[in-house]
Chain A
Amino acid sequence: MTTTTRTALPALPEARTSRTNRTRSGDGVTFARVVVAEWAKFTSLRSTTWTLVATVVAMVGVSVLAAWGTTIDAVDAGTGPMNLAQFLGAGYQLGQLSVAVLGVLTITGEYSTGMIRSTFAAVPRRVPVLGAKALVLAGVVALTSLVSLALSYLATMPFHDALGARLDLGDPETLRLTLGVPLYLVAISLLAFGVGVLVRHSAGALTAVIALLLVVENVLMLIPLRVIELISPFLPSTAGRRLLFDQETLTAVDAATSGAHLTPWQGYGVLLAWVAGLLVLGAWLLRRRDA
């Protein structure tokens, strides 16, 4: 046998016959196609799958811990029936970190690997890429949060009786607390995505977002300067988080802070405004900057 391990020279491309076919209007870049492409990219990375799994595990885990811990306390303290929604969404603090990482990496992963040049060569108008990525991210994060809620419900079932807790989605506050989880997490992932678009470097953007979510806003709240007290309620996660607080918590928070007291939906609106602002700025820079 004299066959070598080398493959023969690959075939040369044939000139395709019907060039005119392919220049029809139906054949170019459309937003729907860019969304399909971004979906294909999203689902073909192992790291995204793992981040999503981690999100679900963390959120369900925190729910179970919260429910279990409260069962013990509740027995001791003998408190009355509770709103189950609070337990189901208890993991949002941890969940927001992993969806923020996902949001940042969705874009900075392309810059760090050089993929962005392939992406923009295929879609030179660029802004559709931003829209498609945001859409895919929002959809995936919403779905992941809903799955987390459902699994949390199932996982905490053993404690439902002991807590005397129920989930009455007909109750406006319960509905807000429940839907608030996917809504809040989607907004946070988009906020992180927006920061990623501006910063372009994974480490820088991650640091900025995590510092914003965990440190900056909390530290600012401690500084007794009038200016900061006025601004503080309008910071993205301080405002947006109000969607996840029940009336009792809101009252307690408001008692402890001066400055504006936003309603939960106003707070969420402020968060969305931040997201919109970042994405508009991002889109503008995206078009102007070299890839």
Chain B
Amino acid sequence: MIEVQGLTKRYGPKTAVDGMSFTVHPGRVTGFLGPNGAGKSTTMRMIVGLDHPSAGTATVNGRRYAEHHAPLHEVGALLDAKAVHTGRSARNHLRAMAATHGIGRSRVDEVIDMTGLAPVADKRVGGFSLGMGQRLGIAAALLGDPQVLILDEPVNGLDPEGVLWVRTLARHLASQGRTVFLSSHLMSEMALTADHLIVVGRGKVLADAPVADVVAGATGKVVRVRSPRATELEDLLRRAGAGVVTTEPGLLEVTGRSRSQVGDAAADAGLPLHELTEVGGSLEDAYLQLTAEELEYQSSALDQTTGAFAPTTEGALR
């Protein structure tokens, strides 16, 4: 369990994290979602005591991270990829980390096998690909077999097989009753991996709810209706109290009414319909809507992230 209370971090005049409060519960995967510069990494660094909060507190299993006698057994963290000396081999890196807690070499070999690092374990980390560095970070996080895992963009740089593996791993760890907290700005990934979402923008929590609720709550459903007698239909729906927007001649976007309600109303008035669809409700829509005003780096960065991956459909949401 991770508890964050009024957490704030200022770097000079810049407020990177602005009074965040949330709780990450065990037994499920909690996604930490937000655009670039939203403060996800900073928050995670504060949780594991690397950055000092300007205000507020962060505790893991009831204590501040630094107060744990055996932190690696409590929390496994993958922070920035390659928080590793480039001149050392993966195995030696893990052995040195393990030594601080008296963790044996057999456990080091175990996590190396688990993360598929075996073929490169004795090579210098400096020559690792982004994906191998990421696997090493995950191996280090698993070293102490911790109850809480904090993974900052774990799929960053992984190949499709690796992405699938991280997703399976995260779900598996949560199913064992562990607390799994992972950040991403990839909504499609979150839709597939997370049960619960904490959406942030500009250092503030924008939403903290199950994935499905975030989607429903942020977008509301929109019904798209095409009719040759759109103007009459618009009048009719407006009089009934629905929200209507005309985006092009003959096409209406209706909010506040379900698809069947719109269809029935048209039938009662004898108005023909050429199209009747329910749109919206994807996590991407929800996300864009939530973070629209909170964007740190307008458009270009976000366009890239949204464009770069396979489209998220409603079907992907649980």
Contact = CB atoms under 8 A, between A and B. Distances in A.
B176 interface: yes
A13 B139 CA distance: 11
A2 interface: no
A284 B84 CA distance: 24
Interface string A1-41: 00000110111110110010011011111100110111011
Contacts of B228: none
Contacts of B164: 9
B19 interface: no
Interface stretch (A62-70, A91-99, A121-129, A201-209): A121-129
B101 A114 contact: no
A117 B50 contact: yes
A40 B92 contact: yes
A116 B49 CA distance: 13
A228 interface: no
Contacts of A28: 68-70, 73, 101
A102 to B, nearest CB: 14
B99 to A, nearest CB: 4
A27 B51 contact: no
Interface magnitude class on chain B: 35 or more
Contact of B83 (A22, A47, A115): A115
B10 to A, nearest CB: 12
B79 interface: yes
Contact of A122 (B72, B172, B177): B72
Contact of A113 (B85, B111, B119): B85
Contacts of B49: 120-121, 124
A41 B88 contact: yes
B167 to A, nearest CB: 11
Interface string B137-174: 00010100101000000000000010011001100110
A45 B93 CA distance: 10
Interface in B42-97: 45, 48-52, 65-66, 68-73, 77, 79-80, 82-89, 92-93, 95-97
B79 A29 contact: no
Contact of B100 (A10, A16, A25, A29): A29
Contacts of B172: 12-13
Contact of B101 (A12, A27, A41, A45): A27
A26 B70 CA distance: 10
Given A16-B145, A44-B89, A290-B52, A124 B84 contact: no
Contact of A109 (B85, B100, B115, B140): B85
Given A114-B82, A118-B140, A290-B51, A10 B65 contact: no
A110 interface: yes
A284 B78 CA distance: 27
B145 A9 contact: no
Interface in A103-160: 109-110, 113-118, 120-125
B114 interface: yes
Contacts of A123: 71, 100
Contact of B97 (A11, A26, A116, A118): A118
Interface in A205-226: none
Contact of A110 (B85, B102, B113, B168): B85
B217 interface: no
A122 B100 contact: yes
Residue among A11, A30, A44, A110 with most chain B CB within 10 A? A44
B116 interface: yes
Nearest to B119: A7
Interface in B102-116: 102, 111, 113-116
Contacts of A23: 70, 73
A118 B161 contact: no
B66 A124 contact: yes
Nearest to A35: B99
Interface string A37-53: 11011001111000000
B83 A117 contact: yes
A11 B117 CA distance: 12
Contacts of A113: 82, 84-87
B94 to A, nearest CB: 10
Contacts of A120: 49-50
A27 B50 contact: no
Contacts of B176: 15
Contacts of A117: 45, 50, 79-80, 83
Contacts of B51: 290-291
Nearest to A38: B96
B95 A40 contact: yes
B101 A29 contact: yes
Contacts of B86: 113
B112 to A, nearest CB: 9
Given A6-B161, A9-B164, A15-B176, 9 more contacts: A7-B118, A28-B70, A33-B100, A37-B100, A41-B92, A120-B50, A121-B50, A121-B83, A290-B50
Q: Which 8 A-B pairs have the closest CB atoms?
A: A28-B70, A28-B69, A37-B99, A44-B92, A124-B66, A115-B85, A117-B83, A10-B116
Interface of B: 45, 48-52, 65-66, 68-73, 77, 79-80, 82-89, 92-93, 95-97, 99-102, 111, 113-116, 118-119, 140, 142, 145, 147, 161, 164-165, 168-169, 172-173, 176-177
17 contacts: A7-B118, A9-B168, A13-B111, A13-B114, A15-B177, A23-B70, A29-B69, A36-B99, A40-B96, A44-B93, A46-B87, A113-B82, A118-B93, A121-B71, A122-B97, A124-B48, A290-B45
